[in-house]
Amino acid sequence: MKKVIALATFVLFGTIFVNSQGAHFHRYTTTWNSTFDNLEVMGGVGFTQFMGDAGGADQIGTNFLADFDFDALRPCFLLGARYRLNHFIAFRLNLQYGILKGHDQYTSYPGRAFRNLGFRSPLLEWGGLVEFYFIPDQPTGHKHGQHHKRIKKNKIVTAYIATGIAGCYFNPLGDYTDGSTYELHLLHTEGQGILATRPDYALTSFVIPVNLGFRFRLSEAFSVDAELCYRKSFSDYMDDISQTYVDPSLFAGDPVATYFANPVPGTLGTEPGSQRGDPTDPDGYMFLMVNVSWRFSTTARSVPKYYN
């Protein structure tokens, strides 16, 4: 009898234990989101706008939108990644490629058009930015259900400004009268590398980026950004124009270098020593971009969690 009572007691308490653990196993779960949920990849297309000594608006040279020249717009492309730290701040890496173009034939302002100077250049830019959202993607909603789950409703439109540090590569090119293309820095058009006071210029530069962007959410995963981006470089030779005209005898009879140094010889204002560019104002450029961003999908998983 004692054995029967012991066996019955063991079975009873074993059944209670298993049932209680099973109930807790099914009732309590936990979920988490992947750390990649705040990571986005992006691609974009748009236009470049050069802002330097060559070309520009129909007025005396100035800066930013006041010197905008529609004829100089050229295509550009973007690849990038963004990490959202919170609703107000995001970090971003960019790689952009485009073409820069500027030519005096695009302006009717006499003080610039008479020079007939121009260039085009490939542009490769890389850099990092911090985005500050002044219209943040801050969800609003209410608590709902037994476990007080918050129902989120993200904003459709957000806006940000961004800045950081970047670098760029450029190589100003010119088309000779026979259609041939030349790298202008190799021709020393302002005596760079020939005159002791004018060293050769580098084809890379640090850049200060400033972006203004508006973001339109299409879904939880996709969004579209419209951006106006301004860049100020630390080079005044992105267009191969900076200082003054030099004596053509420096080029030792090279007709190509002589032509690109001064396409309109004998014209008033192009004599040696006359102003060719403005060395006090480094070159800049703009991007007008439309970018599509894809956010890594939110991941929710469940695991057993035992109640103590």
- Concatenate the DSSP letters of all residues of the chain into one string: -HHHHHHHHHHHHHHHHHHHHHHHHHH-EE----GGGGEEEEEEEEEEEEESSSS-SSSS---GGGG--GGG-EEEEEEEEEEE-SSSEEEEEEEEEEEEEEEGGG---HHHHTT--EEEEEEEEEEEEEEEEEE----B--EETTTTEE--B--SEEEEEEEEEEEEEE--EEE-TTS-EEEGGGGTTT-TTTSTT-PPPPSEEEEEEEEEEEEEE-SSSEEEEEEEEEEEES-S-TTS--SB---GGGGTT-HHHHHHH-SSTT-TT-STTSB-S-TTS--EEEEEEEEEEEEPPP----EE----
Please calculate the CA angle 184-187-188 and round it to the nearest 5 degrees: 100
Question: For residue 69, what pLDDT is reported?
Answer: 85
* Residue 139 pLDDT grade (very low, low, confident, very high; cuts 50, 70, 90): low
* Residue 308 pLDDT grade (very low, low, confident, very high; cuts 50, 70, 90): very low
Residues 6+ apart with CB under 8 A from 230: 64, 209, 210, 211, 284, 286
Q: Residue 148 pLDDT more than 80?
A: no
Whether the CB-CB separation of 260 and 182 falls below 8 Å is answered with yes
Q: What is the pLDDT of residues 198-239, one digit of tens each?
A: 999 999 999 999 999 999 999 989 999 999 999 999 999 999
Which contacts (CB < 8 Å, 24+ apart) does range 22-25 have?
24/306, 24/307, 25/304, 25/306
Q: What is the pLDDT of residues 91-108, one digit of tens each?
A: 999 999 999 999 988 877
**Which of 51-65, 99-113, 155-169, 247-261 comes out lowest in average pLDDT?**
51-65
Distance of alpha carbon 217 from the chain centroid? 19
How many alpha carbons lie under 13 Å from residue 153 in its C-beta half-sphere?
A: 4
Question: For residue 140, what pLDDT is reported?
Answer: 54
Question: For residue 60, what pLDDT is reported?
Answer: 63
Question: For residue 220, what pLDDT is reported?
Answer: 86
The CA distances from residue 296 to 5, 129, 151, in Å, are 60, 20, 20
* Residue 114 pLDDT grade (very low, low, confident, very high; cuts 50, 70, 90): confident
Q: What is the pLDDT of residues 261-300, one digit of tens each?
A: 999 998 999 999 999 999 999 999 999 999 999 998 655 4
Residue appearing with tokens 């066996």: 7
Mean pLDDT value across residues 190-197? 95
Q: What is the pLDDT of residues 29-85, one digit of tens each?
A: 444 455 677 899 999 999 999 998 887 766 665 666 777 888 899 999 999 999 999
Question: For residue 210, what pLDDT is reported?
Answer: 97
pTM of the model: 0.80
> When comparing pLDDT for 127 and 70, which is higher?
127
**Which of 56-60, 63-67, 144-148, 182-186 comes out lowest in average pLDDT?**
144-148
Domain boundaries, the chain: 1-30, 35-304
Q: Measured between alpha carbons, how far is 245 from 113 in angstroms, rounded to an integer?
A: 16
Mean pLDDT value across residues 130-139? 88
Mean pLDDT value across residues 152-163? 85
What CATH number matches the domain at 35-304, 2.40.50.140, 3.30.565.10, 1.10.490.10, 2.40.160.20? Answer: 2.40.160.20
Q: Residue 5 pLDDT more than 50?
A: no
